[in-house]
Every structure is written in C-alpha cells, then in structure tokens.
Amino acid sequence: MRETDFVSGFARGLTVIEAFDETRPKLSIAEASKITGLDRATVRRSLLTLSELGYADYDGKFFALTPKILRLGHAYLSATPLPTIIQPYLDQLSDRAGQSASASVLDGTEIVYIARASQKRVMSINLTTGSRLPAYCASMGRVWLAALPEHEAREILARSNLKANTPHTKTDPDDLIAELRRVRDQGYALIDQELELGLCSIAVPLENDRGRIVAALNIGAPAAHVAAAEMAERYLPLLKETQAALRLVLR
C-alpha cells in the first residue's frame, strides 16, 4: 500500500472514538489528547466532527458518545452471518444444559462475544455481544489459541497482559503453551476459576466444512453448582453435538 492510500484523518478519528471507555465516558479535548497522544487541535477537530455527525454530544466542555456510534459496531454484527446462524443452536444448548452458552471470535489478544444465550447471571461482569475477555484465561480463548500455529499463539501470549485474576490463573507462557497442546489433543478447553473465582467453563472449536475454526463455543457454570471435574462429563457431549450440527451448516 502506498503512503497516499492511507487516510490519516480517518485513522486518527477512530483512535479518538476508542479513547472512550468505562473509566472515561466523558472526555474533554485535553483528556482525549492525552489518551490518544494526538495534538489537541487534531483531537478537537475529530470530536467536533463526531458531534456534527451525531455520533457524540458536546456540552461545551465534555464530549460523550451517543448510541448512534453503535451503528458502526452493528455494521459488523449484521454483516457477518455467523451470529445469526449460531444463535438458535446456542439457545437450544443453553436450554438443555441449564447454563449460559456463548460463541466468540478472536481479535488480537482478546476474544469477542458474537452471540450469547444466558441463564441466570453468575459472573460479576455483564457479558453481551461485543464484550471482550483476554484470550489466555478464557475457555474460548484457549480453544482459539490452540487452533493457531504455536509460534502465533506464543506471539499473542507475549503481547497479552498475563495477570493472575485469581489464585488459579495460569500466567506462565510455557505452562500456557503446554496447556494449549493439551487442548488441541483433547479437543476442548476447561477453565477452573482462572478468570473469576466461582466460575468454570468449557469450550470447543466450531469449524466450517473445510475444518477451519470460525468461532469458539462454550458453556459456563458456577463452581458451586458444578465442580470443574464434572464439567466435561456433564457438558462435553452437548457441546460436541452442537459442534457437529454446526459443522454441517457453516461454510
């Protein structure tokens, strides 16, 4: 790609949008400038543009994103057929298991939820479509990493912030790589309270008819309800069944 085929004003604007998050729902020009590292004048122009287009509100002091911004993310969700195809299978799976079931894809070091059928809330965080979790300590993340060539998985782990969310969290890259081999061999990933105390989950890959992974599928359950050791026994058959059914549908 040539230098001139890159619209830096666009790229800068996207950076500005991403500057907003749960800890910073409202930003002044100076704050946004600090977060993005862009010049105050540049950030101001981007924010005023967002505001002019209705993607942001401006009260003269702070900027805040409006729901119109959701159109951008939704452009992906509605454009990719995967969530729509998977959802009914997820509903049935969740219903039969009596637990929450989800599907996700990998984006960098994180998994992104693309569909979910939830039962009673068990996690402290609220997971919906678009939610992200670090791949290294989530069951679906392990499944995705295991599906990659080992050097790519290692590279992603190297870029990840490997922190111990609980005393059970595996954070050593070599341990994790060994665990990924296990996942690859057994065809599923089991997480025992590595993300959050009290939460276990089990995941399998969803492959298309050419054997390529297109998503990961999981069931999560409270550890108080189902011991980690029982997870595979109880839910693996259901997951495998759903996996097989979807394999025939995914192209």
Partner DNA sequence: GCATTTTGTGCGATATACGAACAAAAGTCA
Partner DNA sequence: TGACTTTTGTTCGTATATCGCACAAAATGC
Q: Measured between alpha carbons, how far is 143 from 166 in angstroms, rounded to an integer?
A: 20
Site string for DNA, 215-244 (x = CB under 7 A): ------------------------------
Q: Measured between alpha carbons, how far is 26 from 206 in angstroms, rounded to an integer?
A: 39
Closest distance between its own copies and the C-beta of residue 7, in Å?
Answer: 5
Of 40, 159, 163, 182, the one binding DNA (CB under 7 A) is 40
**Do residues 145 and 138 lie in contact, with contact meaning Cβ atoms separated by under 8 Å?**
no
Q: Measured between alpha carbons, how far is 190 from 238 in angstroms, rounded to an integer?
A: 15
Of 17, 35, 44, 129, the one binding DNA (CB under 7 A) is 44
Given the complex with its own copies, which of 106 and 137 has the nearer CB atom?
106
Torsion of CA 169, 207, 130, 184, to 10 degrees: 10
Q: What part of residues 121-180 is at the interface with its own copies (CB under 8 A)?
A: 121, 126, 128-132
Take residue 97 and report the two structure tokens written for it. 């298991």
**Do residues 204 and 216 lie in contact, with contact meaning Cβ atoms separated by under 8 Å?**
yes
83 binds its own copies (CB under 8 A): yes
6 binds its own copies (CB under 8 A): yes
38 binds DNA (CB under 7 A): yes
81 binds its own copies (CB under 8 A): yes
Q: Measured between alpha carbons, how far is 147 from 24 in angstroms, rounded to an integer?
A: 35
84 binds its own copies (CB under 8 A): yes
31 binds DNA (CB under 7 A): yes
Q: What part of residues 211-250 is at the interface with its own copies (CB under 8 A)?
A: none
